[in-house]
Amino acid sequence: MGLLEVKNLSLHINGKHILRDVTLDVWRGHIHALVGTNGAGKSTLASAIMGLEGYREVTGKIYFKGERIDDLSIDQRAQKGITFGWQEPARYEGISVNDFVGAGISNDENDKEAIIADALQQVGMKPDDYLTRAVDETLSGGERKKIELASIIAMNPPFIMLDEPDSGIDVATLERMADAIKLLKERGTTVLLITHSLAVMRQADHAFLMCDGQIIEKNTADKIIPYFEQNCIPCNHKNKPDIERAREAIE
């Protein structure tokens, strides 16, 4: 049984069929990638798993650690250990980096300051330069993205979904992100990367190929990536999948 199981999940929004009978298993302790072009339904699926407002009226079932969660609120799912890293990190006026990164650390931890400092260092940020700064518009998008990832490292959750983790960052920051994602795996966190970036896909062990709201194939990342690069990126009929051709080519 996977850490996360999605079974026959469908979603309509404003009368439009967005997710179509999606089934997938996310295995504990692995890095997975949910791969597809823009509009394939990747972020919608992640939002439905997280239980965000507007994405909860689904048919099908979602299980986490063997427990059905599709009737739970976003807060209840978060309490179970499901975490979501946004494509565009939010700004928080008046909240310091220290408080933001430390918010998810258990009150039982005796070395909270050390955990916060270590998490910032893991994403390439000097604690003394950032701890007292506010998580607001004075920080760049790349800085806020790294701070968000530092908060996840400090929290050490069972499961994290990262939506387009390379969005708005430079190559050096992407390399830091890759190292941080590997660290999460080493510390026992299961990761689901939502992406259309080849660089991000290469960090994954396993991948799900999504098109038109459907999972059209799942395999090791090294088998999904070449097909995506050669067929999906240049495709002139995006989100109109040739499912049989994809499955034959990837297998």
Q: How big is the chain, counted in residues?
A: 251
Kind plus residue range of the DSSP H or E element containing 135: strand 134-135
Helices 141-155, 171-186: axis angle to 10 degrees equals 10
Q: What are the pLDDT digits (tens) for 185-234?
A: 999 999 999 999 999 999 999 999 999 999 999 999 999 999 999 988 88
- pLDDT score of 249: 73
User: Is residue 90's pLDDT more than 70?
Assistant: no
Helices (H), 187-220: 198-201
Give buried/exposed letters for 177-212 (b at 16+ CB in 10 A, else e).
bbebbeebeeeebbbbbbbbbeebbebbebbbbbbb
Tokens coding 212:
């038109």
Q: What are the pLDDT digits (tens) for 25-84?
A: 999 999 999 999 999 999 999 999 999 998 988 999 999 999 999 999 999 999 999 999
Backbone angles phi, psi at 3, to 5 degrees: -60, -45
- In angstroms, the Cα distances linking 221 to 51, 204, 217 are 27, 6, 11
Whole-angstrom distance, CA of residue 229 vs CA of residue 166: 17
Helices 171-186, 112-122: axis angle to 10 degrees equals 130
Kind plus residue range of the DSSP H or E element containing 14: none
- Cα 136 to its chain centre, rounded Å, is 22
